[in-house]
């Protein structure tokens, strides 16, 4: 009896110790779990065409779009946090004021020591920029006789500091609380002679400052990637890497890059200068008609105006060798079907073009997301809906996504090849034309948006931009945010 009691007592002691051990454990959630528990992903970013900005349509920018998709994947709300001083970025990220930084940044050696980086989603090169009409620099050594500037805390600044060992007389100004657009505007307005910016930032701004030129590349290509705290907890970083891997596999990443950069692969200096001049001397004559037609058909008037410029350079009496005429270059059968009696009447032509674009939009499946749906409608406006469907069929034949404009634009030129047009319903078409057509309309449209919404990335009003973002963004970092951890 005594022995069995002792055994029972020991068993109870062991069981009690196990229970105490189990209930005494404190489960500390990892970073990914904390993001999901608070239902909020806070992302550090900076104002810029290559990152994040606000338009009349809401927030835009490739970093915003990527962050929004990541937050949706995690099932949480997104809060964008503006950090306008890159030198303070490290402190803000390390002290837990944000979960990650998505600022269009590349990994400098000192950053890699302090932070962890996700897989790059884009590769860029630092470029030396000057204004046409000024002396073209042969390299960094040629800039010592002029003024050179970079954004503080960026890889271009790090590269300059490295090159100073070889060029002791090299000097530059590192701008804080500024954007790449501000930097490029200073070169364009001759306030400084040279700047070093990343290639994607120059590409996005070149159409706004057509006199700017690239003298050459500075350094090797580097990957643009998100930054995370380096403290041993890689749960959120691992989730981000899985997210980017899935975006690549699905083709969605290519679609995003195409959306922001695909229409900017070739720059036409003369055409851009002429367009800007016509905005002043021609567009005011027809702007009201574009706006009224857009309102009637629930379209963006600037998109209609961009189509009108691509078609006729806003010339109501334009005529092509194939017989299309007027502001929106309507064919006779199309005009008749749309109730346009006089194709040379600017108002009738604009309303007819708006009605025709709306028809094309209604034929594009509703489940297709914007802006892909608009690009497809523009292609159909130019080449006809049937030929567009043929290009989508070829896209499917080649095991690509027929609802991706990036994929279909690659197959449209195949409509001019006998090997392919014999296999589709509507036959031969000059398929390269709608590709260039859509690219040009997109360029004109983005320029019109930029001009008609001066608060977007206006380099002359940087403080106004920040005030706009502060009022619209749900979270603005200016030393007042609390740590999330």
State yes or no: is 311 an active-site residue: yes
DSSP string, 26-46: -----HHHHHHHHTEEEEEE-
Among the listed residues 375, 315, 381, the one whose alpha carbon sits nearest the alpha carbon of residue 349: 315
* 168 alpha-carbon distance from chain centroid: 38
Cβ-based neighbours of 366, under 8 Å, separated by 6 or more: none
Give CA–CA dist 150/294, Å, rounded: 42
Query: Regarding beta strands 173-175 and 122-124, do their DSSP bridges make them parallel or antiparallel, or are they unpaired?
Result: unpaired
Question: Which sign does the torsion angle of CA 49, 50, 53, 55 carry?
Answer: positive
Bridge partners, 173 (sequence order): 149
Give CA–CA dist 263/435, Å, rounded: 9
Active-site residue, selected from the candidate residues 252, 311, 372, 403: 311
Cβ-based neighbours of 13, under 8 Å, separated by 6 or more: none
Give CA–CA dist 228/111, Å, rounded: 10
Which runs of E-coded beta strand occur in 7-84?
Answer: 40-45, 53-55, 58-60, 77-82
Cβ-based neighbours of 400, under 8 Å, separated by 6 or more: 251, 407, 410, 411
Question: Which sign does the torsion angle of CA 127, 131, 137, 142 carry?
Answer: negative
- 125, 245 Cβ separation under 8 angstroms: no
> SS3 letters for 330-350?
ECHHHHHHHCCCCCCCHHHHH
* 380 alpha-carbon distance from chain centroid: 24
Residues with a catalytic annotation lie at 311
């Amino acid at each position: 009896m005594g022995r069995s009691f002792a055994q029972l007592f020991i068993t109870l002691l062991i069981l009690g110790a196990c229970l105490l051990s189990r209930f005494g454990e404190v489960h500390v959630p990892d970073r990914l779990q904390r993001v999901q528990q608070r239902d909020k992903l806070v992302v550090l970013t900076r104002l810029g065409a290559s990152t994040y900005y606000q338009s009349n349509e809401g927030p835009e920018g490739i970093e915003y779009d990527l962050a929004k998709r990541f937050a949706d994947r995690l099932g949480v709300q997104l809060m964008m946090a503006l950090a306008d001083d890159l030198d303070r970025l490290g402190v803000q990220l390390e002290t837990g004021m944000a979960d990650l930084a998505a600022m269009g940044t590349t990994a400098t050696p000192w950053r890699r020591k302090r932070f962890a980086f996700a897989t790059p989603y884009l590769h860029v090169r630092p470029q030396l920029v000057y204004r046409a009409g000024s002396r073209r620099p042969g390299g960094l050594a040629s800039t010592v006789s002029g003024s050179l500037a970079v954004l503080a805390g960026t890889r271009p600044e790090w590269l300059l500091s490295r090159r100073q060992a070889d060029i002791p007389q090299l000097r530059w100004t590192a701008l804080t609380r500024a954007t790449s657009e501000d930097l490029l505007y200073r070169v364009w307005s001759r306030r400084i002679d040279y700047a070093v910016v990343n290639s994607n930032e120059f590409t996005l701004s070149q159409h706004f400052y057509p006199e700017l030129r690239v003298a050459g590349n500075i350094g090797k290509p580097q990957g643009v990637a998100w930054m995370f705290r380096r403290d041993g907890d890689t749960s959120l970083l691992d989730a981000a890497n899985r997210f980017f891997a899935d975006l690549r596999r699905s083709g969605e990443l290519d679609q995003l890059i195409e959306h922001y950069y695909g229409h900017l692969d070739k720059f036409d200096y003369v055409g851009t200068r002429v367009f800007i001049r016509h905005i002043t001397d021609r567009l005011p004559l027809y702007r009201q008609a574009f706006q009224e037609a857009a309102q009637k058909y629930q379209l963006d008037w600037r998109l209609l105006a961009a189509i009108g410029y691509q078609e006729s350079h806003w010339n109501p009496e334009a005529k092509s060798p194939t017989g299309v005429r007027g502001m929106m270059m309507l064919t006779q059968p199309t005009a008749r079907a749309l109730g346009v009696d006089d194709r040379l009447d600017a108002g009738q032509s604009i309303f007819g073009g708006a009605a025709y674009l709306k028809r094309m939009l209604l034929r594009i499946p509703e489940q297709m997301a914007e802006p892909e749906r608009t690009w497809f409608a523009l292609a159909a406006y130019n080449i006809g809906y049937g030929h567009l469907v043929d290009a989508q069929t070829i896209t499917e034949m080649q095991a690509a996504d027929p609802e991706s404009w990036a994929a279909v634009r690659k197959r449209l030129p195949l409509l001019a090849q006998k090997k392919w047009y014999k296999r589709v319903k509507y036959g031969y078409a000059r398929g390269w034309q709608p590709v260039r057509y859509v690219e040009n309309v997109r360029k004109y449209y983005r320029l019109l948006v930029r001009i008609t919404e001066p608060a977007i990335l206006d380099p002359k009003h940087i403080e106004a931009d920040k005030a706009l973002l502060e009022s619209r963004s749900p979270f603005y970092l200016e030393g007042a945010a609390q740590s999330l951890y």
